[in-house]
C-alpha cells in the first residue's frame, strides 16, 4: 500500500462526497453514522503505518488530553495513535462536508 498526505486528503474528500450523495441535505444522524463507520474502517485509521500520514495532513489533530480522555485506561501508544487518527479524520471529513454544503 502506498500512503501519502495527498492521498489522505483525497480520501477525506471522497468520503465526504459519498456521504453527501448518500445523505443529501442538512446534517443528519445517518450521515454522521456513515462517516463514523467509514472512517473507522479506513486504511488510514486501521494501519499504524498510515496513521502518521493522516496526522501530518490533518488540520484537526486532537490534543493528547482529548485522546487520553476517550481511550481505555492503560492504552498503549498504538491505540492512542489510532484513536487520534480516527478523531482527526472524522473531523476532517465533517469539515469537508461543511465546505461542500457551502458551495
Quick: pLDDT tens for 28-75: 899 999 999 999 999 999 999 999 999 999 999 887 777 677 676 777
Q: What is the pTM for the complete model shown? A: 0.90
| % residues pLDDT > 70 (the chain) | 97
Decide if 58 contacts 92 (C-beta within 8 A): yes
pLDDT at residue number 25: 79
Q: Do you know the residue count of the chain?
A: 103
CB atoms within 10 A of CB 3: 18
Task: Report the pLDDT value the prediction gives residue 102, as an integer from 0 to 100.
Answer: 86
* Total of domains in the chain: 1
Predicted local distance difference test score (pLDDT) of residue 42: 98
> What domain range is 93 assigned to?
5-102
Q: What b/e sequence results for 75-94 when a residue is b if at least 16 CB atoms lie within 10 Å of its CB, and e otherwise?
A: eeeeebbbbbbbbbbbbbbb
Give me 9's grid cell: 486528503
- Over 90: is that where the pLDDT of 99 sits? yes
Amino acid at each position: 500500500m502506498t500512503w501519502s498526505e495527498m492521498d489522505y486528503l483525497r480520501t477525506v474528500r471522497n468520503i465526504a462526497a459519498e456521504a453527501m450523495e448518500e445523505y443529501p441535505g442538512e446534517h443528519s444522524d445517518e450521515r454522521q453514522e456513515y462517516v463514523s463507520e467509514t472512517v473507522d474502517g479506513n486504511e488510514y485509521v486501521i494501519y499504524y503505518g498510515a496513521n502518521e500520514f493522516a496526522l501530518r495532513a490533518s488540520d484537526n489533530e486532537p490534543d493528547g488530553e482529548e485522546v487520553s480522555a476517550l481511550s481505555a485506561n492503560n492504552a498503549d501508544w498504538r491505540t492512542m495513535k489510532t484513536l487520534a487518527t480516527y478523531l482527526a479524520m472524522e473531523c476532517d471529513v465533517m469539515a469537508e462536508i461543511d465546505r461542500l454544503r457551502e458551495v
